[in-house]
Amino acid sequence: MEAMFTNLGIGFTEVFKLQAVTIAGVSMTLPFNILMCLIGVILGTLIGVLPGIGPVATIAMLLPVTFNLSPIAALIMLAGIYYGAQYGGSTSAILVNLPGESSSVVTCLDGYQMARRGRAGPALATAAIGSFFAGCVATLVVAMFAPPLAEVALKFGPAEYFSLMVLGLVSSVVLASGSLVKAIGMVILGLLLGLAGTDVNSGVLRFSFGLAEMADGIGFFTVAMGMFGIAEIISNLEQKEHREVFTDKVSHLWPTADDFRRIFGPILRGTIFGCCLGILPGGGALLSSFGAYTIEKKISRNSREFGKGAIEGVAAPESANNAGAQTSFIPLLTLGIPSNAVMALMIGAMMIQGIAPGPQVMTERPQLFWGMIASMWVGNLMLVLLNLPMIGVWIKLLTVPYRILYPSILVFMSVGVFSISNQPFDCFLMALFGLFGYVCVKLECEPAPLILGFILGPLMEENLRRAMLLSRGDPFVFISPSKPISLGFLIASALLLIVIALPALRKKRDEAFAGEEHG
C-alpha cells in the first residue's frame, strides 16, 4: 500500500509539473499536462453530448495532433476524451432521448422519462454524482491491480504473448453483438490488413497490389478514421433531424434526501459491477451499463418504476459505464492488450510516440504509467465541476443540426490523414474504408473486431515467429506443459468460442428437427 501511494505521488508530480511551452509565438510556463487533461475532458463531454460522433471517431480524428505532444500529454488527453464521453453521453440521453455514447443507451429508458416529468435536474445530477464516485473508485482499482498484473506479465515469453493476443481477439468476437461468423470474419480481415506492406524479416512486399504507397502498409489512422469516422457520418445522415429538447425543465439540480437514499445502493453496485467487467478483454462501458441496469431492475424495491422514470435506472448504468471505461485501461497498461476499440486507438497513439505497449511500460516509464492514472482522478473532478454549471451550453449545442457539423468533421479528418504522410493516396484510402465501414454497418458487421485484428495482427505475427524460432519450428510450444500460461490462454479462448457457439448450434439443430417433423 505504501508503494502505491509513493507511485501515485510520482504520478501527481508529473501531472502538475510546470513546462515551458510556446503558444502563438508567446513563451510561457504552464502545467501543460493539466491543460491537456482539461482539453480532453471538455472534448469528451462535447462529443458525448452531440449524438452521432462518439469517442472512437473523435480519438481517431485527433491522433495526428498527438505527433507534436509528449507521450504523457497525448495519452492524458485521449484518456480524458474517452471517460469524458461517458459523462457527456448521459446529458443527451436524459434531455433528448438520444444516447451520445453507446453506453448511455440504457440511461435513456429512465432518464428521459424523468425529464418529461420535470425532473431533468436531479437526473443529470445523479448521473454526475454516480459517474464521479465510480470514476474515483475505478482509478483506485487501476492503481491497486495494475502493478501486480504487470509483474506477472513481465514473465511472459513470445508463446504466452501470442496466446494472450488470441484470447483478446476471441473475447472481442464473443462480446461483439450479432453474428459470430461475421465477427470472426471481421477479425480475420483485420489481421490480413495489418500484414500489408513490407515483411520485416525478408524485406519482401506483400499484399501491396504493386502500389508504392503501400510499401509501409496501411496507415492505422486511415483505417480508424474511415471505419469509424466517415461510416458514422454517413449512417447519421440517414437519421431524422427532429429533436425534442427539454430546455425549460432543467431546474433544482440537487437530488432530494429520498433520492440520495434510493441512489446510494445502485451507485455502489454499479461501480463494483463496472470495475469487474471493465478489466475483462472486450468488456468495458457498454456491457457494464446494460448489466448493471438489469441487475438493479431485478433486485430493486421500485422495479415497477423502471422504464417510467426510476432514479435507480439512471444511477446504476451511469456508475457502471464510468467504472467500466476506466478499469478497461488495466489490460492496456499491464498487458498491452486492447479491451475495446478505444483502447486499440490508445495503443496506436503509444506506438506513434515510440512506446511498445506492454508490462515494460510501468518499469521503463513510471512517470507515464502513474501520471496517466493520477490524471484520471484530476479529470473526474474536472468533469463534475464543469458539467453541471455548463448544462445550459450543452443544451444549446443539442439544437445544432447535424448537417452543419459533418462537413467540418470531414475536412478535419482529411487534413489530419494528409498531414501524417503528405500523400493524397491516404485520403482516398480513408474514403474507401469509410464506404466499406458503411457497408459493414448495413450488414450488421461491427468494425471494432476488425480494428483489434488490425492492431494485434503484426504483434501476433512477430511473437508467433519468435516463438517458433526459439522452439526450432516446434508448433507444440504453445500447448506444451512447460508453457502452462500459454496453454491456459488457448484453453480459455476455445471455451469462450464453444460457449458462444452452443446456442447457435442448438438453434440450428432445433430448426432442422422442426423441418423434418414438418416434412
DSSP string covering 116-133: HTT-HHHHHHHHHHHHHH
Phi, psi of 178 (to 5 degrees): 95, -155
The reply to whether the predicted model has a pTM over 0.85 is no
- The interaxial angle of helices 391-398 and 71-96, nearest 10 deg, is 70
Spatial distance between the Cα atoms of 157 and 214, rounded to a whole number of angstroms: 31
Mean pLDDT, consecutive 10-residue stretches, the chain (519 aa), reads: 77 82 71 88 80 69 77 86 78 69 72 78 83 85 79 75 79 67 85 81 76 76 76 73 52 75 87 79 64 80 77 85 82 74 78 76 82 85 78 68 72 72 82 89 81 78 84 82 82 81 58 50
Question: What cell numbers appear for 379 in the block?
Answer: 479529470
Task: Let me know: does 62 contact 346? Beta carbons within 8 Å.
Answer: no
Spatial distance between the Cα atoms of 190 and 429, rounded to a whole number of angstroms: 15
Nearest Cα to Cα of residue 330 among 153, 511, 92: 153
Spatial distance between the Cα atoms of 194 and 389, rounded to a whole number of angstroms: 45
Q: Please report the pLDDT score of residue 253 as a whole number.
A: 66
Facing residues of 21 across strands? 28
Instruction: Provide the CA 170 distance to its chain's centre, in angstroms.
Output: 17
Spatial distance between the Cα atoms of 349 and 334, rounded to a whole number of angstroms: 16
Task: Let me know: does 234 contact 402? Beta carbons within 8 Å.
Answer: no
CA angle, corner 131, sides to 455 and 61, nearest 5? 35
Spatial distance between the Cα atoms of 105 and 95, rounded to a whole number of angstroms: 13
Q: Please report the pLDDT score of residue 25 as a whole number.
A: 67
Q: Largest Cα–Cα distance of the chain, in whole Å?
A: 83
Spatial distance between the Cα atoms of 29 and 22, rounded to a whole number of angstroms: 9
Could you give the C-alpha distances from 248 to 107, 244, 332, 391, in angstroms and in order? 20, 11, 43, 12
Q: Please report the pLDDT score of residue 516 as a whole number.
A: 47
Q: Please report the pLDDT score of residue 280 as a whole number.
A: 65
Phi, psi of 7 (to 5 degrees): -65, -40
Q: Please report the pLDDT score of residue 53 as a whole number.
A: 64
In the chain, what are the helix, strand and coil shares in percent, each to the nearest 5? 75, 5, 20
Q: Please report the pLDDT score of residue 281 as a whole number.
A: 55
Task: Let me know: does 369 contact 361? Beta carbons within 8 Å.
Answer: yes
Q: Is 146 exposed, middle or buried (0-12, 13-18, 19+ CB in 10 A)?
A: buried
CA angle, corner 164, sides to 159 and 168, nearest 5? 150
